[in-house]
Amino acid sequence: MPTLIVVDRKGNERAVEGDAGLSVMEVIRDNGFDELLALCGGSCSCATCHVHVDPAWMEKVGPPHADEADLLDSSDHRNERSRLSCQIRFSAELDGLKVTIAPED
């Protein structure tokens, strides 16, 4: 099972396992990170699952698509590494991916 490294808003880092095929948001939520609200449940209609992807992983994860980018524009905490975690499909190729939960808007 692939591992995801999650840094919470307090800076605590924890490695968790997740099933390939889930979204990164689902892996984070299923492992008890309550600060990631994911209010729309993964339908890409809010930005409450905003994460910052570790720079070493940006090329592999790729940039946000147009709809995702529009939602990220609503965040005061958007940067060049911003993604909505509901839009990143977790897989064996992303084993070791590190993300930081963005500050709440």
What residues have CB less than 8 Å from 96, skipping those under 6 apart?
Answer: 2, 3, 5
CATH 3.30.420.40 fits domain 3-101: no
pTM listed for this prediction: 0.96
- Predicted local distance difference test score (pLDDT) of residue 71: 96
Residues of the chain with pLDDT under 50: none
Sorted by sequence, the CB contacts under 8 Å of residue 10 that are 6+ apart come out as: none
* Rounded Cα gap, residues 46 and 5, in angstroms: 23
Q: Which of 97, 104, 103, 102 is nearest to 83 (CA)?
A: 102
Give dist(CA 43, CA 25) in Å, integer. 11
**Residue pair 44/86 in contact by the 8 Å Cβ criterion:** yes
**What pLDDT, on a 0 to 100 scale, did the predictor assign at position 105?**
87
d(CA 72, CA 18): 25
The full set of domain ranges for the chain reads: 3-101
